[in-house]
Amino acid sequence: MDKKMVNITIDDKHVQVPAGTTIHMAAKEVGINIPTLCYLNLNDFGCVSKVASCRVCVVEVTGKGNLAPACSTPVFEGMEVRTNTIRVLNSRKTVLELMLSDHPKDCLTCQKSGECELQSLAISFGLREIKYKGKESTYRKDASKAIIRDRDKCIMCRRCETMCNEVQTVGVLSAIDRGFNAVVSTALEMDLKDSVCTFCGQCVAVCPTGALVERDATWDVLAALANPKKTVIVQTAPAVRTALGEEFGYPAGTRVTGKLVAALRKLGFNKVFDTDFAADLTIMEEASELLDRLTRYKAGDKTVKLPLLTSCCPAWVNFFEHNFPDLLDIPSSAKSPMQMFSAVAKNIYTKELGVDRKDLVVVSVMPCLAKKYEADREEFSKDGNYDTDIVITTRELARLIKYANINFQALEDDDFDKPLGESTGAGVIFGRTGGVIEAALRTAADWYTGESLEKIDYKEVRGLEGVRSADVKVGDLDLKIGIAHGLGEARKLLNEIRAGRSHYHAIEIMACKGGCIGGGGQPYHHGDTEILKKRISVINSEDTSKTLRKSHENPYIKRLYEAYFDKPMSHNAHELLHTRYFEKSKI
């Protein structure tokens, strides 16, 4: 049934919109921009935050005594709206001045400077002085390995709360106290590291100010590069190449893989490698694990745990350790590609280089804040030396390139170093939702049938729906595959498994919407989900451009197994490439 249409007028422009549309959305239909701060529309991913707490978007509605928040006020037939009267402009200006009066004045040194939406609004309103002076809110800072919370900069927009509670269903952040002392914080004001936070970074991705930012490690990288006693190598995740160009003036959806490599080389890294290599390695183990479980299940083994859950995403791993400790034997035990790469680098590549593992510094460029947390897990260390030494995000890499005064657009494309830089298309697609399970299917299908199958593109597992199901035929196997991106969607599938209602054989889960291309360490999308779709197109384009598109066809992966592991899931492979999970507190 078609929705009823209503006719309204905004700044003398007539527009017809469906009943229930907000003034803000109706204004966009006729090209009128109403400033917002707390509002965030990620409707493609089921997230619309319109708590109307900031009052920056107020407008005049004829016949109404009070100004109305455009982000949350629905239109009605015959409504007349004014977005630019003196009363409206004065109200917005006053709101911003009051916000600035209770906000730190360190814009020049704030990590969010240049990306801060409060700063941008202050500039657009021409605010050049702090009109109101008086007491300012002060709170204790919280600095984890991944995320830094500076609540002095919180403006109570509550976007992070919406993301954490409604989208991710993690439930760490919520508004506390009243009036002047109101702020978004954790239960009992505990540190994030002591909470059930997964460090997915989606709160950071939507925060309009510097209240939530990543822990910056750029100068740690520069210190390592400057140390003549250290050999410093770098790996870069597939999603990084989809978004780095946005920091240097390229439109979203521009592939900059070659320039990325060139920039890293100019920064002074001894070797520039590709995490895609380790993604291929991950598939060797994960596809073997899947086939092993399926074969035993088909033979009647009642001890087999299905579905197999992919384990590449550290925020997702942290999520199920906290929330589903009774299911810890279901996920694949394969390490993430980042940790597989680092394990190989520190335990095998060091021997080829002739250096001690303590003198090799592994820097990982990731789209994800949870990778900082993952690198710090004790099980990924040996005698106090961590496999991954430093993790920086895509945003941090952009800062490094700018620090070094490198003209990114003028760089000539370069290639990754061998052997840990060679990869297939299957490794690349790890960067998008559905990519890990598609890569696993490409290899598992070939191995199960004993043929090199022509079918490479498993389009049935692609898409952007939060939860997707696909029926995939592999030889005489009829596989049921589940895919979820976003922890709230993951929770639905896990609850089905817990209740014994799941019919899937394998499930891929990514914590962030869109997969790694939407990671918390990527360039800010400011609510524009079209940017995420364009990043996915880069992943798919690079996949199809590869000569080899199946992980088991990577010649350097084959040599690695011949020389060190013999075969997937061997004793040596388990020692270096697999991990275990731990039950964690729910508080």
> Catalytic residues, which ones?
286, 289, 312, 332, 371, 374, 379, 516
How far is 38 from 466, CA to CA, in rounded Å?
A: 24
Show the tokens assigned to 451. Answer: 């043929």
Angle (deg, nearest 10), helices 487-498 and 314-323: 40
List, in order, residues 6 or more apart from 501 with CB less than 8 Å away: none
Show the tokens assigned to 536. Answer: 């996915």
How far is 182 from 246, CA to CA, in rounded Å?
A: 35
Query: To which residue do tokens 């941008």 refer?
Result: 120
Give Cα separations from 290 to 170, 452, 475, 500, 576 (angstroms). 28, 18, 15, 20, 19
Identity of residue 78:
G
Q: What is the CA radius of gyration of the chain?
A: 25
Q: Is residue 303 a contact partner of residue 282, using CB atoms and an 8 Å limit?
A: no
Strands of 477-485's sheet, edge to edge? Answer: 308-309, 506-510, 477-485, 467-474
How far is 81 from 395, CA to CA, in rounded Å?
A: 40
HSE of 385 in the Cβ direction (CA atoms, 13 Å)?
14
Parallel, antiparallel, or unpaired for β 68-69 and 80-82? unpaired
Neighbours of 59 (CB within 10 A): 26
Strands of 147-149's sheet, edge to edge? Answer: 142-143, 147-149, 212-214
How far is 144 from 163, CA to CA, in rounded Å?
A: 19
HSE of 133 in the Cβ direction (CA atoms, 13 Å)?
4
